[in-house]
Amino acid sequence: MKRLLFSLLLLTPLALAVVAQDKPARSDFGLAVFKLGEKAASDDKAGPTIDSLCSFLGKSVDGATFARRGVRNMPDEALKLLQDKDKPVAMAIVSPGFYFKHKVALKLTVLAEARRDGNDGEQYVLLGKESTDQYPQGATVATSLTADTDWLNKAVLPAPKDAKAIVWKQYDNLFDAAYAMVDGEKDAPKYVLADRISLKSILDDAELKGLKQGLKSELLPQELVVEVDSRLGDKRDAIKKVLKELDKTPDGKKQGENLQSATFPAPDDKRLEKVAKLYE
């Protein structure tokens, strides 16, 4: 039986920091990326992709240069990057959960939102051998996002009042969880929490077509491009324009393919506001 290594790589623009120089007309920015639950989101594996993005932004935004500060897949490590005063981060692509948790302390402002695989927003669904449209009280649910249980419990699948909470089980590869369910393994989860891309990939596998879709989350934000502490200054609007029009040039299209988001348009403010209330 084949085992497919499922890897979703959406890399976030690294936070950019303004550094004083002898030539005030030029600004240098640091860029950081945080992709929750993505093992490939590391400097070793994704560094060249982000370096390419930095080079592209430098060519596209007059009077600005960009440098990679780091690529991380764990929230604590990403937080350290954005708190580093010696190597300031001015712009970053981060998970929505990271943004809602740290937006006040880090003075984060949303500039754009990813459109991974062309989707406007993210939605999660429970996959199981049996379908349910009810909150799965006390059930074990596989996910790659256990490093941020606040995001899972507050935004993705909030528990009804007095309901027994879901037991989240970490799987770096959701195919492993899906096969465990189908094979009837003893420690298999009851459900798999699948985002849109992983859902399509799992159901495209002939051996997993029997899994049934159930309860779905609300339509949620995808990864967000954020500015840190107003450090982009007068380059802010130019950067937003470049990200929005990423698909307008051959080099920009290449960056979009690498980032799995053809463009980064303005965020859906109503969607952000709705989720923000869940964090209050």
pLDDT tens by residue, 89-128:
999 999 999 999 999 999 999 999 999 999 999 999 999 9
- Average confidence score pLDDT of the chain: 91
Q: pLDDT tens, 221-252? A: 999 999 999 999 999 999 999 999 999 999 99
> What pLDDT is attached to residue 74?
96
> What pLDDT is attached to residue 111?
98
> What pLDDT is attached to residue 26?
58
- How far, in Å, are 70, 164, 248 from residue 51 at the CA level? 10, 45, 20
Contacts of 19 (CB under 8 A, 6+ apart): 27, 28, 88
Query: Is the pLDDT assigned to residue 165 strictly greater than 60?
Result: yes
Query: Is the pLDDT assigned to residue 16 strictly greater than 60?
Result: no
Query: Is the pLDDT assigned to residue 78 strictly greater than 90?
Result: yes
Q: pLDDT tens, 28-69? A: 999 999 999 898 999 999 999 999 999 999 999 999 999 999
Mean pLDDT of 133-153: 97
Give percent of the chain above pLDDT 70.
91
Please answer whether residues 250 and 62 qualify as being in contact, where contact means their C-beta atoms are separated by less than 8 angstroms: no
Residue with tokens 């937003």: 240
The pair phi, psi for residue 29, each rounded to 5°, is -125, 140
> What pLDDT is attached to residue 1?
45
Give me the domains of the chain, ranges plus CATH numbers: 27-118+221-279 (3.40.190.10), 125-216 (3.40.190.10)
Contacts of 175 (CB under 8 A, 6+ apart): 3, 4, 5, 6, 201, 202, 205, 208
Please answer whether residues 113 and 222 qualify as being in contact, where contact means their C-beta atoms are separated by less than 8 angstroms: yes
Mean pLDDT of 159-179: 96
Query: Is the pLDDT assigned to residue 18 strictly greater than 50?
Result: no
